[in-house]
Amino acid sequence: MSFLPAELIKKKRNGLSHSRDELQFIVNGFLNGELPDYQMSAWLMSVFFKGMDPNETAALTDIMLKSGRTLDFSNLSGLTVDKHSTGGVGDKTSMILAPIAAAAGARVPMIAGRGLGHTGGTLDKLESIPGFRINLTLEEFQEQVERIGVAIIGQTAEICPADKKIYALRDVTATVESLPLICASIMSKKLAEGIGGLVLDVKFGSGAFMKTIEAADTLAEKLMAIGSAHNKRVAAFLTNMEQPLGRFIGNTLEIGECVAILKNEAYLSVAPESFTDCRELSLELAGSMIWLSGRSTSHAEGLALAREALDSGAAWSKFQELCSAQGGDLSRLPTPRSCLEVRTEQSGFVSALNTEMIGIAAIVLGAGRLKTTDSIDSNAGIRIHKKIGEAVKEGEILYTLYASGSGDDPQVQRSRRMLLDATTISLQKTDVPDLIARRKVN
Amino acid sequence: MSFLPAELIKKKRNGLSHSRDELQFIVNGFLNGELPDYQMSAWLMSVFFKGMDPNETAALTDIMLKSGRTLDFSNLSGLTVDKHSTGGVGDKTSMILAPIAAAAGARVPMIAGRGLGHTGGTLDKLESIPGFRINLTLEEFQEQVERIGVAIIGQTAEICPADKKIYALRDVTATVESLPLICASIMSKKLAEGIGGLVLDVKFGSGAFMKTIEAADTLAEKLMAIGSAHNKRVAAFLTNMEQPLGRFIGNTLEIGECVAILKNEAYLSVAPESFTDCRELSLELAGSMIWLSGRSTSHAEGLALAREALDSGAAWSKFQELCSAQGGDLSRLPTPRSCLEVRTEQSGFVSALNTEMIGIAAIVLGAGRLKTTDSIDSNAGIRIHKKIGEAVKEGEILYTLYASGSGDDPQVQRSRRMLLDATTISLQKTDVPDLIARRKVN
């Protein structure tokens, strides 16, 4: 069916609902180049302002899913499972929980994304491992999941090509934060993986796309509804992103932190206990993945299996197996060079961190992209010395910056100022928020 | 100054105001290709939803004005004047009032536009006259205004190039109907013409961008304020667009109607008295132009001079002079071929016309563009047999369609259905609305 693109933009702009045919015309037209990107971005901004009803969201998910190939793991015993995070700052759990769950017998066919907005992306992180191939063919991907239980790749041209193209455009047109677009993008990609179960890590707070737990809950409900409609088992965690997860932001730095957690050792002189938040969240999410895969009969039992896989070193072995299966050489992981220490002029306690601003400060150093064509400096990033509730004294280090330039570099200085602006120090000690605020199952 | 485009889009999307530097970055970046069109269209849609404050609107007007050359007619005696219409369906007054005003001694340097949204454009209409050159150089334009008192050209690359590029993008991204964008676009172009006075025809109703007289009044006030700030005399007419103006829609057809009005004769068997609405509005607008040019001391006196210029044949001579000065050969104006008559199955009175839908029905026939790269069929269009308040009998013709294809053509049939949908026939006779609802002067 054919429509007038400008009239469809106008229709959404005026708050009306699209038919499935109209959505198909828009999405497929954009994908095959008949609907130019400037019309697509105007339509996306209209969706940002006017939303979509549940029928539109479901249709959009299905159209994006069917724009490409879908995988089928029904030949394997048990359900394949995956985890999806709505994105945070310093969120590196994928690289920890995927090997944990696989080591515990689950099958994890993970199609991951790149940095979006102020958050990092699993693919950018994995690519900081020399040689790591995120672009396996779907045949290689499927074979690897069957053979070692886990594979992590980027969205190939064959999987949800419509989502891939739309996602890139949203990133540079301030249309990321749209609930129906987020839901359709997440679920189309995950459903294409051929999974039987999905664990959602829906983040809220200053570093998340959802600033409040209520907004995160709404998003979780919408995602779970799409999952249920497709007969998938879905569990959702609402987790706190009022501060970065773990101690490092940046691609190589986060891989280093993951390795330290998997091996239970220090990284860049940061002791393993400093990584507790990131480790525990990874275990909880992996526990639910194990449960949904059918390898345990409850989340609690799954969590125990996850902890065993981590403590025994099985997860670390699985991560090494994953890296070498995909060509990654962990022995050649660089050690990033620090260029500036950011110190406080106040004494007291860290009471709040503007985590979105911290994420942008890392991007300014080169850890992410300001526009899609930008290249990333894998070794750029930030070490967070002080987290919420921790005491600081005048002159102490709050952050260490890692970048290729010198500390006087304008971008480094800009990042420094952003970090100081992002950090609130008070005389009274603040309670540390619970990392896992709510757990939901459908 | 440099900004992150996605952050600027987000800023407007979130309802914040831009600084002049930010607007300059956006507009000039778009003009020189550094800001891609997909970011510009997302920003434009954000402006559609969140608006602009008066300072932003004034800054945007000024930035667009200064993106190109401006003309200077200060060597001429009296003020140069122009008319601007906010756009309607069947609105062909420019081709009538410009020669009337010029014949009465005013100087009219008119830079006109193309069809926008569901409305037609003066340039598209003039181009249906074989040989008519709308692309004079600015030197030729200025010389012709000085020599014969009138010239009508398209926006050259030198005049408000930023507006030209933005206008083309708005047309295809459903971002036409934004008050600050409309105001800045209109006024930057008119101020660049070097005019001393401006008559605004601000339309309201089902065929206008402003659906209510209140909205039209607000637009008129904003435009007049920008004019005053630039020391221009501005008069505004609020005119009714609840039905098409005159009897024809389409490029060649409208030129034919203009010639009939200027010569006071029939066109395609339609008697001159059927064109009364279009003729009277043209006279009123020309009367104010004559007054603002200083050729009369009041609107009433200007109107009398306008009527004299029309009745005496001086305006018709001036139109012929205009056409031949710009290479147009009226003797070769084609006679469009009708392909379908649309008849009513009801008897009664035409009580309402969805004029926007009628405009789109004409575009569907080929009279306008669905996207910027579309070409126009000059001879396509619609004759309106019955206007509001007129009696109809079952089986009578409501519309005659003109298109290159046959009456069975899917586009012709689609247009037919739209026209029937757009026409309300009632048993009771409806009053014909006043064409000129309000007149304002600053």
User: What pLDDT sits at residue A165?
Assistant: 94
**Shortest CB distance from B44 goes to which of A6, A42, A371?**
A42
B351 is catalytic: no
User: What pLDDT sits at residue A333?
Assistant: 97
User: What pLDDT sits at residue B54?
Assistant: 84
Give the Cα separation of B58 and B55 in Å (integer).
5
User: What pLDDT sits at residue A77?
Assistant: 80
- List the single residue in B with minimal CA-CA distance to A116: B6
B79 pLDDT band (50/70/90 cuts)? confident
Residues A70 and A81: beta-carbon distance below 8 Å: no
- Residue from B46, B94, B185, B188 carrying the catalytic annotation: B185
Give the Cα separation of B129 and B123 in Å (integer).
10
The C-alpha of B406 sits at a distance from chain A's nearest C-alpha, in angstroms, of 21
Which of B173, B175, B357, B369 has the highest number of chain A CBs within 10 A, making it the mutation to test binding with A? B173
Give me the DSSP letters along B285-337.
HHHHHHHHTTSSSSHHHHHHHHHHHHHTTHHHHHHHHHHHHTT--GGG---PP
The C-alpha of A92 sits at a distance from chain B's nearest C-alpha, in angstroms, of 25
| Rg (chain A; Cα; Å) | 21
Which tokens go with A2? 């054919």
User: What pLDDT sits at residue B397?
Assistant: 98
CB atoms A174 and B13 under 8 Å: yes
Q: How many CB atoms lie within 10 A of CB B295?
A: 19
CB atoms B45 and A46 under 8 Å: yes
Give the Cα separation of A203 and A265 in Å (integer).
27
**Shortest CB distance from B38 goes to which of A6, A41, A48?**
A41
The C-alpha of B404 sits at a distance from chain A's nearest C-alpha, in angstroms, of 21
**Shortest CB distance from A39 goes to which of B4, B39, B173?**
B173
The SS3 call for residue A425 is strand
- pLDDT over threshold 80, residue B146: yes
CB atoms B42 and A46 under 8 Å: no
CB atoms A4 and B39 under 8 Å: no
- List the single residue in A with minimal CA-CA distance to B39: A173
User: What pLDDT sits at residue B323?
Assistant: 98
Beta bridge partners of A200: A84, A236
Residues B146 and B77: beta-carbon distance below 8 Å: no
The residue-averaged pLDDT of A6-34 equals 97
Question: A145-167, pLDDT tens digit by residue?
Answer: 999 999 999 988 899 999 989 99
- List the single residue in B with minimal CA-CA distance to A43: B173
User: What pLDDT sits at residue B279?
Assistant: 98
CB atoms B172 and A38 under 8 Å: yes
Angle at which helices A54-65 and A161-171 cross, to 10°: 120
Query: Which residues contact residue B381 at a Cβ distance below 8 angstroms, ignoring those fewer than 6 apart?
Result: B248, B249, B250, B251, B252, B253, B254, B336, B362, B365, B367, B401, B402
CB atoms A39 and B39 under 8 Å: no
Largest CA distance in chain A: 67
- Residue from B165, B170, B295, B383 carrying the catalytic annotation: B170
CB atoms B370 and A4 under 8 Å: yes
The C-alpha of B268 sits at a distance from chain A's nearest C-alpha, in angstroms, of 32
Give the Cα separation of B153 and B109 in Å (integer).
8
CB atoms A6 and B41 under 8 Å: no
A372 pLDDT band (50/70/90 cuts)? low
Residue with tokens 């009513």: B344
Give the Cα separation of B9 and B47 in Å (integer).
9
- Residue from B62, B82, B124, B163 carrying the catalytic annotation: B163
CA angle (A424, A426, A429) in 5-degree steps: 115
CB atoms A48 and B371 under 8 Å: no
- pLDDT over threshold 70, residue A209: yes
Q: Give the distance, in angstroms, between the CA of residue B238 and the centroid of all CA atoms in the same chain.
A: 14
- pLDDT over threshold 80, residue B128: yes
**Taking Cα atoms as reference points, which of A173, A198, A174 lies closest to residue A187?**
A198
Q: Which residues of A touch B (CB under 8 A)?
A: 4-7, 9-10, 13, 36-42, 44-46, 48-49, 169, 171-175, 370-371
A41 vs B contacts (CB less than 8 Å): 38-39, 41-42, 45
The SS3 call for residue A199 is strand
| pLDDT-above-70 percentage for chain A | 100
The question of ipTM being above 0.90 is answered as no
A53 φψ region: left (φ > 0), alpha (ψ -120 to 50), beta (else): beta
B125 is catalytic: no
How big is the A-B interface in CB pairs under 8 Å?
81
CB atoms B174 and A10 under 8 Å: yes
- pLDDT over threshold 90, residue B137: yes
Own/partner long-range contacts of A33-38 (Cβ < 8 Å, ≥24 apart): A35/A5, A36/B37, A37/A169, A37/B36, A37/B37, A37/B38, A38/B37, A38/B38, A38/B40, A38/B41, A38/B169, A38/B172, A38/B173
A371 vs B contacts (CB less than 8 Å): 5-6
Residues A259 and A279: beta-carbon distance below 8 Å: no
- Residue from B189, B222, B279, B307 carrying the catalytic annotation: B189
Question: B397-406, pLDDT tens digit by residue?
Answer: 999 999 998 9
A169 vs B contacts (CB less than 8 Å): 38
- Residue from B11, B18, B83, B84 carrying the catalytic annotation: B84
B229 pLDDT band (50/70/90 cuts)? confident
SS3 per-residue string spanning A29-89: HHHCCCCCHHHHHHHHHHHHHHCCCHHHHHHHHHHHHCCCCCCCCCCCCCCEEEEEECCCC
User: What pLDDT sits at residue B278?
Assistant: 98
CB atoms B10 and A174 under 8 Å: yes
- Burial tier of A323 (Cβ tally within 10 Å: 0-12, 13-18, 19+): buried
B360 vs A contacts (CB less than 8 Å): 7
Give the Cα separation of A13 and B117 in Å (integer).
15
User: What pLDDT sits at residue B337?
Assistant: 95
- List the single residue in A with minimal CA-CA distance to B172: A6
- pLDDT over threshold 80, residue B101: yes
Angle at which helices A179-192 and A213-229 cross, to 10°: 40
- List the single residue in A with minimal CA-CA distance to B49: A49
The residue-averaged pLDDT of B409-428 equals 96
User: What pLDDT sits at residue A337?
Assistant: 95
Q: Give the distance, in angstroms, between the CA of residue B262 and the centroid of all CA atoms in the same chain.
A: 19
- pLDDT over threshold 70, residue A294: yes
User: What pLDDT sits at residue B184?
Assistant: 94
Average pLDDT of every residue of chain B: 95
User: What pLDDT sits at residue A374?
Assistant: 82
CB atoms A173 and B37 under 8 Å: no
Alpha-carbon torsion A289, A290, A294, A298, what sign? negative
DSSP B433: P
Using DSSP bridges, classify how beta strands B233-240 and B197-204 pair: parallel, antiparallel or unpaired: parallel
User: What pLDDT sits at residue A79?
Assistant: 86
Question: B231-249, pLDDT tens digit by residue?
Answer: 889 999 999 999 999 999 9
A189 is catalytic: yes
CB atoms A37 and B39 under 8 Å: no
Task: Output phi, psi for B196, to 5 deg.
Answer: -100, -25
- pLDDT over threshold 90, residue B19: yes
The residue-averaged pLDDT of B123-137 equals 96
Alpha helices in A112-200 (DSSP H): 122-126, 138-148, 161-171, 179-192
Question: A34-49, pLDDT tens digit by residue?
Answer: 999 999 999 999 999 9
Give the Cα separation of A314 and B114 in Å (integer).
70
- List the single residue in A with minimal CA-CA distance to B38: A38
Largest CA distance in chain B: 67
**Shortest CB distance from A173 goes to which of B6, B175, B371?**
B6
The SS3 call for residue A401 is strand
B372 pLDDT band (50/70/90 cuts)? low
Which of B26, B45, B169 has the highest number of chain A CBs within 10 A, making it the mutation to test binding with A? B45
Residues in chain B: 442
Give me the DSSP letters along B212-274.
SHHHHHHHHHHHHHHHHHTT-EEEEEEEE-SS-SSSEESHHHHHHHHHHHHHT--BTTB-GGG
**Shortest CB distance from B42 goes to which of A36, A45, A370?**
A45
**Taking Cα atoms as reference points, which of B27, B111, B37, B40 lies closest to residue B69?**
B111
- Residue from A185, A188, A206, A282 carrying the catalytic annotation: A185
CB atoms B41 and A38 under 8 Å: yes
Average pLDDT of every residue of chain A: 95
A16 pLDDT band (50/70/90 cuts)? very high
Task: Output phi, psi for B417, to 5 deg.
Answer: -65, -40
**Shortest CB distance from A173 goes to which of B9, B49, B172?**
B9
A174 vs B contacts (CB less than 8 Å): 6-7, 9-10, 13, 42, 46
User: What pLDDT sits at residue A118?
Assistant: 85
Question: A380-402, pLDDT tens digit by residue?
Answer: 999 999 999 999 999 999 999 99
- Residue from A12, A170, A232, A299 carrying the catalytic annotation: A170
Beta bridge partners of A383: A248, A400
Question: B172-189, pLDDT tens digit by residue?
Answer: 999 988 999 999 998 999
B385 is catalytic: no
The C-alpha of A201 sits at a distance from chain B's nearest C-alpha, in angstroms, of 25
Q: Record the pTM.
A: 0.71
**Taking Cα atoms as reference points, which of B411, B354, B370 lies closest to residue B173?**
B370
- pLDDT over threshold 70, residue A97: yes
A163 is catalytic: yes
User: What pLDDT sits at residue A398?
Assistant: 98
- List the single residue in B with minimal CA-CA distance to A371: B6
CB atoms A5 and B172 under 8 Å: yes
**Taking Cα atoms as reference points, which of B415, B97, B418, B390 lies closest to residue B239?**
B97
B44 vs A contacts (CB less than 8 Å): 42
The C-alpha of B43 sits at a distance from chain A's nearest C-alpha, in angstroms, of 8
B230 pLDDT band (50/70/90 cuts)? confident
Question: B304-360, pLDDT tens digit by residue?
Answer: 999 999 999 999 999 999 999 999 999 999 999 999 999 999 999 999 999 999 999
